[in-house]
Amino acid sequence: MAILAALSNPHRLRIIAALTSGGRNYVSQLSRELGISRPLLHLHLQKLAEAGLVTSQLELSHDGKALNFFEVTDFGFELTPSLIAEAAKSLTTNPDK
């Protein structure tokens, strides 16, 4: 559910695409490549991370800057009516929001 919500946004799809094709990257660099503001990218990365679609690890560059690298987890989900029906059961009992 959180995964579907995370993927229902053009920016976030492009973020995953960029990280998939170009490999891991840090926030500021990625924001330049995608042409979206850093705070906005930060927010989207946050949602993707909450959904477990990306992970981050803070690293120190050679010149001492702290860079937060993101990369996609190699997830795999299948979307079929029956699987959705199964997943939807957790909605009635567990009011997600």
Partner DNA sequence: TTCATGTGTAAACAATAACTTACAGGTGTA
Partner DNA sequence: TACACCTGTAAGTTATTGTTTACACATGAA
Measured distance CA(64)–CA(27) in Å, rounded: 16
Largest CA distance in the chain: 52
* 38 lies in the binding site for DNA (CB under 7 A): yes
- Of these, 33, 50, 55, 65, which contacts DNA (CB under 7 A)? 65
Give least dist CB 37 to its own copies, A.
18
Cα angle 83-87-89, degrees, rounded to a multiple of 5: 125
User: For residue 59, what are the β-bridge partners?
Assistant: 67
Collapsing DSSP states into helix, strand and coil, what is residue 20? Answer: helix
Element (DSSP H or E) covering residue 66? strand 66-72
How many residues bind its own copies (CB under 8 A)? The answer is 33
* 68 lies in the binding site for DNA (CB under 7 A): yes
* Footprint of its own copies (CB under 8 A): 1, 3-5, 7-8, 10, 13-14, 16-17, 19-21, 72, 74-82, 84-85, 87-89, 91-92, 96-97
Which residues are near DNA by CB under 7 A? 5, 8-9, 11, 26-29, 36-40, 42-44, 46-47, 56, 58, 63-68, 97
